[in-house]
Structure 1
Amino acid sequence: MSQIIESTAARIRETVHSATTGLVEREQLAELMVLAAVAREHLLIVGPPGTAKSAVVRRVAAALGGRYFEYLLGRFTEPAELFGPVDLRKLREGTVETDVAGMLPEAEVAFLDEVFLGSTAILNTLLGVLNERRFRRGHTDLPCPLRVCIGAANALPEDESLAAFADRFLLHLFIDPVPDHRLEAMLTGGWQADQAKVTHFADLTDIDLLGGEVARVNMDEARGALANAIRKLRGAGLSLSDRRIVKTQRLIAAATVLAGRQTATEADLWPIFYVLPTREAQTSAQEVLRDSLVSAANPTLRAAVEHATLQPVSRATRLVEAARSCLHEQDTPSMRTIAEALLREIDANFTPRSLPEELAVERARLIERTHTDS
C-alpha cells in the first residue's frame, strides 16, 4: 500500500505543478487546496482583489475534475442562487423541497468568493454543508459529496457571528501581491498562463484514495510533538480552540499520506501554522515554532511548507527545482527572463556564505546560460 500512496502523491504533485504553471507565488494555495481535500476540511483565502485567488482555484478544480460550483456572494444574494430554487411541482403538492440540480449541494469542489457577504440564512445553511456534508432546507435533507470548499475574502470579518463562521474553515491562507523580485516571472507567466493547458495527472479518485488512508496514519510520534508545539504557542499568548487543535491531527495525517508515508513524524507538523486564524498569529508562530518545524518537509507540498516555516532548506529545494526546470527550457527571451528572475530571488534570500552548495551549482549554471545567451 505504501507504494500506491507514494505514486498517488506523486501524481497529485504533477497535477498541482501543471495547474499553477504561470501563476507565480500561488503554488501554496493550490497545495493547500489538495491538503484540505485529502483531510476533508475547508480552506479560507484572505487577500486583496486581483491576486489570482479565483484563477488558482478554477485551475486546480479543473485539473482534479468532478462537479465544481462557484459563486460570488453579495449583500442581496438569495439562498436559491446557491442551493437551488423551491421545486414548484412538489410545492403544489404541499411539500417544500429544493431542486439542487447543478447547485452547491451537488458540488464536489466549491468556491465561494466574498463568502462573508452572505446573509444569515445562507451562512446557517452553509454550516450544515461544511460541517456535516448535509443540505437541509424545508423537507429536503440530502448528503453532500463535497470534498473541499474554498472561501475567499478581502479581509477577516470583525463581527463576532461572522468570525465564528470563519472558524469553520480550518485552514487560513493570507496572500499578498507578488513581491518585487518576482515581477518579471509574474509578467512572463501571466502572458503564457491563458495558453497553458492543465494536464490531468490525478483526479478526485486519487484524493479519495489518500483521504481513506488518513484515518490509518500512525500518529503516535507526531502527537507528542503537536502537544509540545501547542504549549509553545500558548506560552507566547497564541491560543487555539480545543476543536481546532484536535482537527489539526487530520491535517498532519493528510500531510503524511501526501508525503507518501503512513507514519507521521515531526516533519509533518507544519500544517499547524495554517490553523492559526489570523495573519498576526501566523507571523508570530513562525518564530515561536522555528525549532519545532526545523525538520518540516513534504515532497508533494513544498511551497506550502516553505511558506509556513520560512526554513532555508525548503526554500532552497524549491529554487533548485525551479532552476533545473528553467535550464531544461529552450533558449528564448522568456526563458532568459525567468532565469534572471530566479537569480534575483536566490540573491534576495541567500548570502554567498549561506547559499547551499546544490543551489550554488544551479545559480552558476543560470549565470552561465544568461551570459551565453546575451
Structure 2
Amino acid sequence: MSLSFDAAASSVRDALTDAGRGLVEREAMVELVALCAVAGEHLLVIGPPGTAKSEAVRRTARALGGGYFEYLLGRFTEPSEIFGPVDLRKLREGLVETETAGMLPEAEVAFLDEVFLGSTAILNTLLGLLNERVFRRGHTRMQCPLRVCVGASNALPEDDALAAFADRFLARTFVESVPDPRLEELLAGGASLWKAGEARTASLEALDVLAQAAREAELGPVRPHLAHALRTLRAAGLSLSDRRLVKVQRLVAAAAALAGRRAPGVADVWPLIYAVPTKEGQALARDVLRELLSHSENPALAAAALEASAGPLARAQRIAQAGRGVLAERPAEGNPEALASWRLKLEGVARELDAGFAPEALPEELRAVREELRMALAAPTGSQDEAA
C-alpha cells in the first residue's frame, strides 16, 4: 500500500471531522461507524425515529468512500429488495443466481433501518453476510466487500431469536432526542446541512491501512487492563459472552489505529463500554470503570471516547476542539450582531471549560485554548482581529 500509516490516520480523522459537522449529539455515532469499519465489526443504533440516525450514517459513508447501501425494512420486505433480484437469464438455464449490482452484497457500508422487522429469510441470509462476509442464495456464492453494517431500531428485541441476531452487532449505541440546552445548535446545524459544501473524504485505501495496522497490533500490554475491566464488570453483575469478550479487542486495536497509535494502551480500553449490550449496563459499566476510563484519549474519536468514558482527558479534547472551532468562526468586523452572537458562543465554551476543570488541573491543550478565549473576550469589539 502506498499510503503511510500516519497519512491514513490523518485522512480519516479529517474526514470524520467534516462528516460530524452540523450533527448535534451525533458526532459519537459518526465516529463509531468509522471505528467499526476499521475493526471489521458492526454497529447497532437504538433510538426513537427522527433522531438523524440515517443522516449520520450517510455522511460517514460519504466520508469513508466506497459503495453504500441503505434500506428501511418492513414486515413485507422481500429478500430481492435487499440482496437483488433473481437473474432471469440464468433461471432459464436452470440456475438460481442473484443480480447483486447496487445491492447490499456489493456495498462497503450498509445501513438497515428497522433491522429487526426483516423476515426470517432476510435475517438468515444476513447472518452469513455479517459473520463471514459471504452472500449465499440459490446457486450464488460471493465474497462481500462489506466493512460495516449499521442496524437501527427503536428498541432492543425481546424475542430470543431476534436477540441472537442482534448479538452479531458487537458495538451498540443508544441515542436520544437533542436536549433543550442544545436546541439552538440543532437548528443551526440542521440549516447548515441544507447547504451543499465541499467535505474532505478519506479512501478505502486509508481504511485498509488502518485495518491492517489494527490486525497487526500487539495487544499484550493492554490485555491486563482489559482483563481487569472485565473482572470488574463481572463483579458488578455485568457478564458479557465469551465471543464479545474476545471481539472487543478488535475495537480496542481499531481505536488505537485511528488515534495514530500502532500499540494500544490503557487510553484505548474505552470501546469496551459499547460492547455492553444494554443502555443500563453501559451506564453501570461507566460507573464501575470510572478510574480506568479516566485515561481515555483519542484525537480522531473524541466524541465517542468522551461518551464512553466521561473521562477528563476525553472531555478536555472535546472542549478544546469546540473552542478552536468557535475561535475560527470569528465574523468580519462591521457586523455587530454576528460579533455579539460569536462572543456568546465563546462565553459558552469558556463556562463549560471553567465548570469542568479547576485552574490548576487544566491540561496543557486546554490551557492554551483558555488563554485564546480570554484574550478574545477581553478585547474591544474593534480590536478582535489583533486579539484573536
TM-score bracket for this pair, using the shorter chain length = over 0.9
Tell me the SS of whatever aligns to 1:142. strand
Structure 1 window deviating more from structure 2 (224-233 vs 188-197): it is 188-197
Instruction: Give the whole-Å Cα distance in 2 for the aligned partners of 1:273 and 1:248.
Output: 9
Q: Which residue of the partner structure matches residue 253 of structure 1?
A: 253
1:326, 1:339 within 8 Å by CA — same for their partners in 2? no
Instruction: Give the whole-Å Cα distance in 2 for the aligned partners of 1:46 and 1:352.
Output: 29
Change in 2 beyond 3 A, CA 1:64/1:226: same
Map 1:19-168 → 2, pairs under 5 A: 19-168=19-168
The structural deviation recorded for 1:181 is: 2.1
Instruction: Give the whole-Å Cα distance in 1 for the aligned partners of 2:143 and 2:59.
Output: 26
Instruction: Give the whole-Å Cα distance in 2 for the aligned partners of 1:10 and 1:26.
Output: 21
1:231 correspondence with 2:231 = yes
The structural deviation recorded for 1:366 is: 5.9
Match of 1:351 among 355, 359, 362: 355
Instruction: Give the whole-Å Cα distance in 1 for the aligned partners of 2:121 and 2:307.
Output: 36
Structure 1 window deviating more from structure 2 (41-50 vs 196-205): it is 196-205
1:38, 1:210 within 8 Å by CA — same for their partners in 2? yes
Tell me the SS of whatever aligns to 1:146. coil
Q: Which amino acid counterpart does residue 54 of structure 1 have in structure 2?
A: S
Q: Which residue of the partner structure matches residue 328 of structure 2?
A: 328
Render the CA deviation track for 1:128-175: whole Å, top value 9, x for unaligned. Answer: 110000000111111101011111111111111111111101110111
Instruction: Give the whole-Å Cα distance in 2 for the aligned partners of 1:329 and 1:111.
Output: 33
Q: Which residue of the partner structure matches residue 243 of structure 1?
A: 243
The structural deviation recorded for 1:351 is: 2.7
Structure 1 window deviating more from structure 2 (87-96 vs 356-365): it is 356-365
Instruction: Give the whole-Å Cα distance in 2 for the aligned partners of 1:182 and 1:12.
Output: 27
The structural deviation recorded for 1:86 is: 1.2
Render the CA deviation track for 1:204-256: whole Å, top value 9, x for unaligned. Answer: 11011111111210111111111110000000001100000000111111111
2:85, 2:100 within 8 Å by CA — same for their partners in 1? yes
Q: Which residue of the partner structure matches residue 305 of structure 2?
A: 305
Q: Which residue of the partner structure matches residue 281 of structure 2?
A: 281
Change in 2 beyond 3 A, CA 1:126/1:370: farther
Render the CA deviation track for 1:92-120: whole Å, top value 9, x for unaligned. Answer: 22111111111111111111011111011
1:73, 1:114 within 8 Å by CA — same for their partners in 2? yes
Q: Which amino acid counterpart does residue 340 of structure 1 have in structure 2?
A: L
Change in 2 beyond 3 A, CA 1:371/1:169: farther
1:186 correspondence with 2:186 = yes
Q: Which amino acid counterpart does residue 311 of structure 1 have in structure 2?
A: G
Q: Which amino acid counterpart does residue 364 of structure 1 have in structure 2?
A: R
* Aligned residues between the structures: 373
Instruction: Give the whole-Å Cα distance in 2 for the aligned partners of 1:110 and 1:302.
Output: 24
The structural deviation recorded for 1:66 is: 1.1
Tell me the SS of whatever aligns to 1:215. helix
Tell me the SS of whatever aligns to 1:221. coil
TM-score (norm 1): 0.93
2:326, 2:346 within 8 Å by CA — same for their partners in 1? no
Structure 1's unaligned 5+ residue stretches are none
Render the CA deviation track for 1:16-74: whole Å, top value 9, x for unaligned. Answer: 11112111121111111111000000111111111111111111111222111100001
The structural deviation recorded for 1:341 is: 4.8
Structure 2's unaligned 5+ residue stretches are 384-388
1:188, 1:334 within 8 Å by CA — same for their partners in 2? no
1:188, 1:338 within 8 Å by CA — same for their partners in 2? no
Instruction: Give the whole-Å Cα distance in 1 for the aligned partners of 2:313 and 2:99.
Output: 52
Q: How much is the aligned-residue C-alpha RMSD, in angstroms? A: 2.3
2:346, 2:377 within 8 Å by CA — same for their partners in 1? no
Instruction: Give the whole-Å Cα distance in 2 for the aligned partners of 1:104 and 1:8.
Output: 26
1:265 correspondence with 2:278 = no
Instruction: Give the whole-Å Cα distance in 2 for the aligned partners of 1:273 and 1:133.
Output: 25
Q: Which residue of the partner structure matches residue 371 of structure 2?
A: 361
Instruction: Give the whole-Å Cα distance in 2 for the aligned partners of 1:352 and 1:124.
Output: 48
1:185, 1:341 within 8 Å by CA — same for their partners in 2? no
1:31, 1:303 within 8 Å by CA — same for their partners in 2? yes
Instruction: Give the whole-Å Cα distance in 2 for the aligned partners of 1:46 and 1:336.
Output: 38
Render the CA deviation track for 1:175-201: whole Å, top value 9, x for unaligned. Answer: 112222222222112111221424234
Instruction: Give the whole-Å Cα distance in 2 for the aligned partners of 1:118 and 1:269.
Output: 34
State, as a whole percentage, how many aligned pairs show the same letter: 53
Q: Which amino acid counterpart does residue 67 of structure 1 have in structure 2?
A: G
Q: Which amino acid counterpart does residue 260 of structure 1 have in structure 2?
A: G
Q: Which amino acid counterpart does residue 354 of structure 1 have in structure 2?
A: A
2:295, 2:313 within 8 Å by CA — same for their partners in 1? no
Instruction: Give the whole-Å Cα distance in 1 for the aligned partners of 2:77 and 2:140.
Output: 21
Change in 2 beyond 3 A, CA 1:60/1:365: farther
Change in 2 beyond 3 A, CA 1:123/1:159: same
Instruction: Give the whole-Å Cα distance in 1 for the aligned partners of 2:338 and 2:57.
Output: 26
The structural deviation recorded for 1:343 is: 3.8
The structural deviation recorded for 1:346 is: 5.5
Q: Which amino acid counterpart does residue 84 of structure 1 have in structure 2?
A: G
Structure 1 window deviating more from structure 2 (174-183 vs 28-37): it is 174-183
Instruction: Give the whole-Å Cα distance in 2 for the aligned partners of 1:339 and 1:274.
Output: 36
Change in 2 beyond 3 A, CA 1:341/1:162: farther
